[in-house]
């Protein structure tokens, strides 16, 4: 049931008030449905009861008329016990008395009583009416029925010609000792008499529209409480015919056939008679008949509806009042969650909600206190952190100082070991060759002596250069390194250095490419010569034999740019800037094989920068290196 669970999820996610309202409304709806069903049941029971009552009344009227007819027959039968009613008798005195008795004393046959012979001829008539005596009634249906069947009969209702009253004749056969039809006795009942009308008029008690009819087998009116003519069609003519045809008892809501355009429905009960082929119909207007039921139904629904509205409203208001403090609590809890602890939680409720409100308020106060406490701790903590940081900074300063001292010591020892090595090599050569020359036990040719002295000179010069470099470095570090500038032709200077170098080595070829229009720059020619010397010396030292070294110069905006490019081993990218630091030597094994103190480029940079220029290197390992430096064309550029 995924949709059911989705519904229950949805229900769980809506607010408390709509949820409560929905539940209450649902509860009341169920209650109202049950109430309505019970009410409908009650109304139906009442309707059935009304119909049953109507049916009982009708049946009672039918029974009463039946009883009257039975009484009539009984009277006739009883008369035969007091007189023989033999048409052959000499004297009909007794019979006449009996007729008079039947007519006069009992009153059932208020329209007359007749004594017939077996052929249907009137022998005696009471009241006496001369034309009737000897009248032949054998053609009359009810007389013929008795003659033919030998059974008693109820005639078709007719208008009594003597009185003009609606009448019906009851006839009984009278038999002789052999059982043969001897004569007949007939009595006329006045259908308009109160005896007959009374049971029918019971219907008037049913209400304003209450009415009843005694109808014959064709639905024609015999007795009615309405103003309809005798033997005319009844108020519900067709329905009477239907009920008579089936001879059934029943109650139905039928159309009033005499109302014309104002069609109204009548609730009618029908009961057929057992002695005559007649029936009694009784009822009234449907609206009036069911008026109590309608009133009951309306009252129930009105009362039910009102009750529902009142109870529902009261419950909803109650529920809303119940939910309001919960909402206040929810809002307060939300505010607390947001960090707003200033607003106090005010709940005037008692019970669980009041308890919850008080607990929440207590929680808010405690939280406020805790937060204030934590804030205090925070301030304290910050203070402590600051103090600790300061202490740490002091310690760090100490450590940095110590580290600097240690670094200095390390550099010093590195410097000493590097310089010692660089000093020891030329000194070793010099000492060795001088010692050899001074040995008296050995003979040296003039040529050998010259060669040894040349080596001693070269090594002395190297030693001198090293010492000068060291002095320059010390000046640089002391900040007292200075240059004396004179207009200097850089092209010429480069040419001069190349020539000097070429005189020492013939293993490399040199290419000079100086712009012919290159202007002279303000410069210290001795120091700039030193720059060229150092760069060319490096180019020779760190490149292969027979490779080319190109020295170029050109003007660029307000300065000239000089480059020394070789085809040597190159310098790793990471070391391109480090090589300008004092005592730094490239780490590659090839570079380590070459003698040097790592001071040449440091001095170059100091000289170039003292002229207001800059120096840098570019390189492609195993392809070669290029050293560039710039010199401003103007003194203050």
Cα angle: 372, vertex 373, 375; to 5 degrees = 65
Q: How far is the CB of 591 from ligand ADP (least distance, A)?
A: 4
Considering only the stretches 155-163, 390-398, 448-456, 594-602, report the one whose residues sit in contact with ligand ADP under the rule CB under 6 A: 594-602
**Residue 563, C-beta contacts closer than 8 angstroms, at least 6 positions apart:** 550, 551, 552, 553, 626, 627, 628
579 lies in the site for ligand ADP, by CB under 6 A: yes
Q: Are 86 and 98 in contact (CB under 8 A)?
A: no
Considering only the stretches 14-22, 200-208, 357-365, 597-605, report the one whose residues sit in contact with ligand ADP under the rule CB under 6 A: 597-605
**Residue 11, C-beta contacts closer than 8 angstroms, at least 6 positions apart:** 19, 22
**Residue 217, C-beta contacts closer than 8 angstroms, at least 6 positions apart:** 244, 277, 278
- The Cα 222–Cα 455 span in angstroms is 176
Q: Which contiguous run of DSSP H or E holds residue 525?
A: helix 525-541
Select the residue interacting with ligand ADP from 599, 606, 607, 615 (CB under 6 A).
599
Q: How far is the CB of 396 from ligand ADP (least distance, A)?
A: 34
Choice between 459 and 566, CB closer to ligand ADP: 566
Q: How far is the CB of 509 from ligand ADP (least distance, A)?
A: 16
The 3-state secondary structure of 384-399 reads: HHHHHHHHHHHHHHHH
Select the residue interacting with ligand ADP from 39, 225, 241, 538 (CB under 6 A).
538
Helix (H, G, I), strand (E, B) or coil at 322: helix
Q: How far is the CB of 569 from ligand ADP (least distance, A)?
A: 6
571 lies in the site for ligand ADP, by CB under 6 A: yes
Q: How far is the CB of 460 from ligand ADP (least distance, A)?
A: 18
596 lies in the site for ligand ADP, by CB under 6 A: yes
Detail the DSSP E strand segments found in 191-239.
Answer: 211-215, 221-224
**Residue 195, C-beta contacts closer than 8 angstroms, at least 6 positions apart:** 68, 108
CA dihedral 607, 608, 610, 611 (to 10 degrees): 130
Considering only the stretches 92-100, 122-130, 355-363, 593-601, report the one whose residues sit in contact with ligand ADP under the rule CB under 6 A: 593-601
Q: How many CB atoms lie within 10 A of CB 39?
A: 18
Choice between 486 and 592, CB closer to ligand ADP: 592
Considering only the stretches 74-82, 198-206, 360-368, 598-606, report the one whose residues sit in contact with ligand ADP under the rule CB under 6 A: 598-606
**Structure tokens given for 617:** 């290197």
- Shortest Cβ contact with ligand ADP: which residue? 596
430 lies in the site for ligand ADP, by CB under 6 A: no
Q: How far is the CB of 601 from ligand ADP (least distance, A)?
A: 4
Count of residues in contact with ligand ADP, rule CB under 6 A: 20
Q: Are 204 and 224 in contact (CB under 8 A)?
A: no
Q: How many CB atoms lie within 10 A of CB 31?
A: 15
- Phi, psi dihedral angles at 508 (to 5 degrees): -125, 150
Select the residue interacting with ligand ADP from 55, 193, 530, 569 (CB under 6 A).
569
Choice between 155 and 538, CB closer to ligand ADP: 538
Select the residue interacting with ligand ADP from 185, 476, 586, 607 (CB under 6 A).
586
Select the residue interacting with ligand ADP from 187, 234, 600, 612 (CB under 6 A).
600
Q: How far is the CB of 619 from ligand ADP (least distance, A)?
A: 7
108 lies in the site for ligand ADP, by CB under 6 A: no
Report the length, in residues, of the chain.
Answer: 637
Q: If we measure between CA atoms, which residue out of 126, 118, 128 comes closest to residue 75?
A: 126
Choice between 170 and 599, CB closer to ligand ADP: 599
Considering only the stretches 115-123, 162-170, 365-373, 561-569, report the one whose residues sit in contact with ligand ADP under the rule CB under 6 A: 561-569
Beta bridge partners of 122: 116
Considering only the stretches 196-204, 261-269, 394-402, 532-540, report the one whose residues sit in contact with ligand ADP under the rule CB under 6 A: 532-540
Considering only the stretches 82-90, 338-346, 407-415, 596-604, report the one whose residues sit in contact with ligand ADP under the rule CB under 6 A: 596-604
Q: How many CB atoms lie within 10 A of CB 512?
A: 13
Q: How far is the CB of 630 from ligand ADP (least distance, A)?
A: 18
Considering only the stretches 140-148, 301-309, 316-324, 591-599, report the one whose residues sit in contact with ligand ADP under the rule CB under 6 A: 591-599
542 lies in the site for ligand ADP, by CB under 6 A: yes
585 lies in the site for ligand ADP, by CB under 6 A: yes
**Residue 234, C-beta contacts closer than 8 angstroms, at least 6 positions apart:** 213, 215, 219, 220, 221, 224, 228, 240, 281
Choice between 143 and 601, CB closer to ligand ADP: 601
Helix (H, G, I), strand (E, B) or coil at 91: coil
Cα angle: 557, vertex 561, 562; to 5 degrees = 165
How deeply is 536 buried, as exposed, middle or buried, from its count of CB atoms within 10 A (0-12, 13-18, 19+)? buried
Choice between 323 and 617, CB closer to ligand ADP: 617
* Interaction pattern, residues 608-637, with ligand ADP; x per rule: CB under 6 A: -----------------x------------
Select the residue interacting with ligand ADP from 203, 539, 551, 607 (CB under 6 A).
539
562 lies in the site for ligand ADP, by CB under 6 A: no
Considering only the stretches 21-29, 107-115, 203-211, 537-545, report the one whose residues sit in contact with ligand ADP under the rule CB under 6 A: 537-545
Q: How far is the CB of 636 from ligand ADP (least distance, A)?
A: 29
536 lies in the site for ligand ADP, by CB under 6 A: no
Choice between 380 and 414, CB closer to ligand ADP: 414
166 lies in the site for ligand ADP, by CB under 6 A: no
Q: Are 607 and 527 in contact (CB under 8 A)?
A: yes
Considering only the stretches 213-221, 271-279, 538-546, 552-560, report the one whose residues sit in contact with ligand ADP under the rule CB under 6 A: 538-546
Region for 100 from its dihedrals, namely left if φ exceeds 0, alpha if ψ lies in -120 to 50, beta otherwise: alpha
Q: Tell me the helix, strand and coil percentages in the chain, rounded to 5.
A: 55, 20, 25
Select the residue interacting with ligand ADP from 323, 601, 606, 615 (CB under 6 A).
601
Q: Are 535 and 493 in contact (CB under 8 A)?
A: no
Largest CA distance in the chain: 228
Q: How far is the CB of 377 from ligand ADP (least distance, A)?
A: 59
568 lies in the site for ligand ADP, by CB under 6 A: yes
598 lies in the site for ligand ADP, by CB under 6 A: yes
Q: Which residue has the tokens 């009784």?
A: 282
How deeply is 34 buried, as exposed, middle or buried, from its count of CB atoms within 10 A (0-12, 13-18, 19+)? exposed
Considering only the stretches 172-180, 341-349, 496-504, 564-572, report the one whose residues sit in contact with ligand ADP under the rule CB under 6 A: 564-572
Binding site for ligand ADP (CB under 6 A): 534, 538-539, 542, 566, 568-569, 571, 579, 585-586, 591, 596-602, 625
């Amino acid at each position: 049931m995924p949709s059911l669970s989705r519904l229950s999820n949805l229900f769980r996610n809506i607010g408390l008030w709509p949820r409560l309202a929905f539940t209450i409304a649902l509860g009341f709806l169920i209650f109202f449905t049950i109430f309505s069903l019970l009410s409908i049941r009650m109304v139906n029971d009442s309707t059935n009861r009304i119909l049953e009552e109507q049916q009982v009344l009708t049946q009672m009227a039918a029974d009463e008329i039946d009883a009257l007819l039975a009484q009539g027959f009984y009277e006739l039968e009883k008369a035969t016990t007091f007189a023989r009613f033999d048409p052959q008798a000499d004297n009909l005195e007794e019979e006449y008395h009996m007729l008079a008795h039947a007519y006069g004393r009992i009153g059932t046959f208020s329209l007359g009583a007749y004594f017939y012979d077996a052929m249907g001829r009137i022998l005696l008539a009471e009241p006496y009416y001369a034309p009737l005596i000897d009248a032949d009634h054998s053609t009359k249906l009810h007389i013929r029925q008795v003659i033919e069947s030998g059974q008693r009969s109820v005639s078709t209702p007719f208008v009594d010609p003597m009185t003009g009253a609606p009448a019906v004749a009851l006839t009984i056969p009278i038999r002789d000792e052999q059982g043969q039809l001897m004569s007949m006795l007939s009595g006329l009942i006045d259908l308009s008499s109160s005896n007959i009308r009374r049971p029918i008029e019971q219907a008037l008690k049913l209400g304003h529209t209450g009415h009843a009819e005694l109808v014959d087998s064709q639905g024609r009116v015999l007795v009615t409480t309405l103003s309809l003519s005798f033997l005319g069609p009844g108020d519900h003519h067709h329905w009477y015919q239907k009920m008579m045809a089936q001879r059934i008892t029943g109650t139905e809501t039928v159309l009033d056939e005499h109302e014309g355009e104002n069609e109204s429905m009548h609730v009618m009960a029908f009961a057929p008679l057992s002695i005559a082929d007649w029936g009694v119909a009784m009822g009234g207007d449907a609206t009036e008949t069911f008026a109590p039921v309608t009133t009951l139904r309306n009252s129930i629904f009105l009362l039910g509806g009102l009750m529902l509205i009142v109870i529902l409203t009261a419950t909803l208001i109650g529920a809303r009042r119940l939910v309001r403090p919960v909402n206040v609590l929810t809002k307060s809890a939300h505010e607390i969650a947001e960090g707003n602890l200033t607003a106090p939680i005010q709940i005037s409720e008692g019970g669980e909600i009041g308890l919850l409100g008080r607990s929440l308020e207590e929680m808010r106060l405690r939280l406020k206190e805790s937060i204030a406490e934590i804030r205090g701790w925070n301030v304290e903590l910050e203070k402590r952190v600051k103090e600790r940081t300061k202490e740490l900074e002091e310690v760090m300063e100490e450590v940095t100082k110590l580290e600097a001292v240690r670094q200095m010591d390390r550099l010093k020892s590195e410097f000493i070991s590097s310089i010692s090595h660089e000093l020891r090599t030329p000194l070793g050569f010099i000492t060795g060759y001088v010692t050899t020359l001074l040995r008296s036990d050995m003979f040296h040719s003039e040529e050998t002596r010259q060669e040894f002295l040349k080596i001693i000179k070269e090594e002395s010069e190297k030693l001198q250069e090293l010492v000068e470099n060291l002095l320059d470095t010390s000046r640089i570090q002391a900040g007292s390194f200075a240059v004396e500038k004179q207009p200097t032709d850089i092209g010429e200077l480069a040419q001069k250095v190349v020539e000097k170098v070429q005189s020492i080595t013939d293993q490399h070829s040199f290419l000079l490419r100086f712009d012919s229009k290159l202007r002279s720059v303000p410069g210290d020619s001795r120091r700039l010569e030193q720059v060229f010397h150092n760069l060319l010396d490096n180019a020779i030292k760190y490149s292969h034999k027979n490779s080319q070294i190109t020295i170029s110069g050109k003007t660029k905006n307000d300065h000239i740019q000089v480059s020394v490019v070789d085809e040597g081993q190159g310098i790793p990218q990471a070391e391109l800037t480090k090589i300008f630091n004092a005592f730094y030597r490239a780490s590659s094994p090839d570079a380590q094989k070459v003698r040097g103190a790592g001071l040449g480029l440091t001095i170059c940079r100091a000289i170039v920068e003292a002229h207001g220029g800059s120096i840098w290197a570019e390189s492609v390992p195993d392809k070669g290196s290029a050293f560039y430096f710039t010199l401003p064309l103007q003194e203050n550029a």
